[in-house]
Amino acid sequence: MNAPTSPGARFRVALRDERPLQIVGAINANHALLAQRAGYRAIYLSGGGVSAGSLGLPDLGIIGLEDVLVDVRRITHVCDLPLLVDVDIGFGPSAFNIARTVKSLIQAGAAACHIEDQAGAKRCGHRPGKDIVSVQEMADRVKAAVDARTDRDFFIIARTDAIAVDGVEAAIDRARACLEAGADAVFAEAAHDLATYRRFADAVGAPLLANITEFGQTPLFALDELREAGVAMALYPLSAFRAMNKAAEAVYSAIRRDGHQRSVLDLMQTREELYERIGYHRFEQRLDDLFGGRR
């Protein structure tokens, strides 16, 4: 049997082979390689991560499609793991904007995306004050995304933020409408307990994604707990990013305070570790092969 070739096909194989499929956030291409080295089968690019990490802005719907595509291309250029991408509400009010988003993601090498039902002035999914569009408008967003696929295996996940706004049953009704519109899976944002995931899984009959983000509304459930609750995908969107930021602050403070970095060397990746992770010596050997070792 031939191995799946498209990123979308590889994502579907990973989802078939690993339940729940652990999808870890990679803020940049370097982190994508680290995730691959750790054995993950799929990775994720968070809209909040692009906002904060690439642009230094809050996750309030400020970023645009091109901001995301820059990071998608950088990741897919060096890493073969299927990449799930957060596209917020599709980067535009119309079906044509959403279609452009999906086509551009596929061209950039992404495997999957999730699109949500928040209104235009969106907020982080774990913050109060969210506003959601009608069920019909969300279903139309999904229809536009599905219709735009140039790779039939590109995986489309419908995210609903309705749990915090209208309750679990209303969120389940939205999820069903999105699946009828062609979505491949459902993302139940900001669920408070395992019973909610089980209700979703039993009701929708499609793969369910749980967002296991730190310091949010959802407890940090273990993989076995999520499996028992019927969850198909466990998302860890910014875990490494948060750790990276904490370490960076500690290093900056230490150098400024002490006048040297000796006290924080244990927080750092060594030069040789970096070279090994990014294949530095392989690239250097290629130069030697081409030019006979001349410098």
Q: Residue 126: what pLDDT?
A: 76
Q: Residue 131: what pLDDT?
A: 85
> Which residues are part of the catalytic machinery?
44, 59, 86, 88, 114, 116, 124, 159, 189, 211
120-168 tens-digit pLDDT? 777 776 777 778 899 999 999 999 999 999 999 999 999 999 998 899 9
Residue 286 token pair: 């290629």
Residue 289 token pair: 């092969």
Beta-bridge mates of residue 155: 112
Domain extent at residue 83: 7-244
In a domain, 249, yes or no: no
- DSSP secondary structure letters along the chain: -PPP-SHHHHHHHHHHHSSSEEEEE-SSHHHHHHHHHTT-SEEEE-HHHIIIIIS---SSS---HHHHHHHHHHHHHH--S-EEEE-TT-SSSSHHHHHHHHHHHHHTT--EEEEE-B-SS---TTSS---B--HHHHHHHHHHHHHT-SSTT-EEEEEE-HHHHH-HHHHHHHHHHHHHTT-SEEEETT--SHHHHHHHHHHH-S-EEEE--TTSSS----HHHHHHTT-SEEEE-SHHHHHHHHHHHHHHHHHHHHSSSGGGGGGSPPHHHHHHHHTHHHHHHHHHHHHTT--
Q: For residues 21 and 40, give the distance between their C-alpha atoms in angstroms, rounded to a whole number.
A: 9
In a domain, 190, yes or no: yes
Confidence of residue 2 (pLDDT cuts 50, 70, 90): low
> What is the domain count for the chain?
1
Q: Residue 293: what pLDDT?
A: 58
Is residue 212 part of an annotated ligand binding site? yes
53-108 tens-digit pLDDT? 999 999 888 999 999 999 999 999 999 999 999 999 999 889 999 999 999 999 99
Q: Residue 92: what pLDDT?
A: 84
In a domain, 283, yes or no: no
Question: What's the mean pLDDT in 12-38?
Answer: 98
| CB-CB contact of 175 with 188 (8 Å) | yes
In a domain, 170, yes or no: yes
Q: Residue 79: what pLDDT?
A: 98
Q: Residue 295: what pLDDT?
A: 55
Q: Is the peptide bond before 4 cis (omega within 30 degrees of 0)?
A: no
| CB-CB contact of 163 with 183 (8 Å) | no
> What rounded mean pLDDT belongs to the chain?
94
211-245 tens-digit pLDDT? 999 999 999 999 999 999 999 999 999 999 999 99
Q: Residue 46: what pLDDT?
A: 97
In a domain, 52, yes or no: yes
111-128 tens-digit pLDDT? 999 999 988 777 776 777
Is residue 161 part of an annotated ligand binding site? no
Q: Residue 61: what pLDDT?
A: 87
Is residue 178 part of an annotated ligand binding site? no
In a domain, 231, yes or no: yes
In a domain, 92, yes or no: yes
Q: In CATH, what number is assigned to the domain containing residue 181?
A: 3.20.20.60
In a domain, 271, yes or no: no
Indicate if the pLDDT at residue 294 is higher than 90.
no
Is residue 48 part of an annotated ligand binding site? yes
Q: Residue 5: what pLDDT?
A: 86
| AA letter at 231 | V
